[in-house]
Amino acid sequence: MRVIICSDHLQRREESYRQAAQDLQDEPPPRPKGLLQRIIWLVTARKTMEMAARHARVSEMEAEADRFAQGRVGEDSFVQALSTQLDDRYVLLKGYRPPPPWHQGGDIDGLLVGPHGVSVIEVKAWRGFYRYSGEDWLFRKNRRAVWEVARKNPTAQAVANTQRIQHVLEDAGFEHMRVFSAIAAATDTMNVEVIPPVSVPLYLAYLPGARLDTIIGPTGRQAELSLSQVEQALAILMPPASARLG
């Protein structure tokens, strides 16, 4: 499988938060001017309170950096898992953003183009326990906790991004191109209980030999696209020339 890296958004956000946390940690503590103000600052424990607030903010920034790092590692794990199952007839656009006017909505985690058509993939590397049924995602902190609605819905994200790609292809006269939606659980930290039926297939990237039809759809039911058709689709979807090959 060929990989085209269209965006390093997760890495840049991670580095940004880590640098901001380091800068705040290295910044000298503010000291009020004047002897009286300094005495009041010390006696009233304002110094301790301000330092505690700073440490809390640093911890928040580091937690955000860790979250982006977790997503980046998860996406890399997904790419590695998929590459063991697909040959070079397939091309994965990683961190892809559609051209205007369909660029609104941010980057798409993975866009797989190949003989099967196009797959729009939402990659998650969450931690914790999840339940997926129909279009709904529930979350609980541990096995004894009560289920609650998950903060984000990968199914809704995958469907919305699929519609964006369908519009891009339709605008270019490729309205008959087959477009699939998929969700990938990238790491085993994401414990998902699946209750069929589900509206978007779930690919468990961390399992050896995970079912490939959850990504490219059932095989053998429709004729594969020719190499020229795949290249045509890529020409429509291809990111700017500045994209890096992986």
CA gap 92, 4 in Å, rounded: 6
131, 66 contact by CB (below 8 A):
no
Which of 121, 88, 131 lies closest to 217, judged by CA?
121
Separation CA 134–CA 146 (nearest Å): 19
Q: Which segments of 115-172 does DSSP mark as H helices, in order?
A: 154-171
169 within 8 A of 117, measured Cβ to Cβ: no
Query: Quick one: pLDDT at residue 94?
Result: 93
User: How do the pLDDT tens digits run along the chain, 246 residues long?
Assistant: 999 988 887 777 888 888 888 888 887 766 667 777 767 766 677 767 777 788 888 899 898 888 878 778 888 889 999 999 999 999 999 999 998 888 888 899 999 999 999 999 999 999 999 999 999 999 998 889 999 999 999 999 999 999 999 999 999 998 888 999 999 999 898 999 999 999 999 999 988 888 899 999 876 556 788 889 899 999 999 845 434 333
What integer pLDDT is reported at residue 154 of this predicted model? 96
pTM over 0.75: yes
Q: How many residues does the chain have?
A: 246
State the sign of the Cα–Cα–Cα–Cα dihedral 234, 235, 238, 242: positive
Residue at token pair 């477009």 = 179
3-state helix, strand, coil in the chain (%, to 5): 40, 25, 35
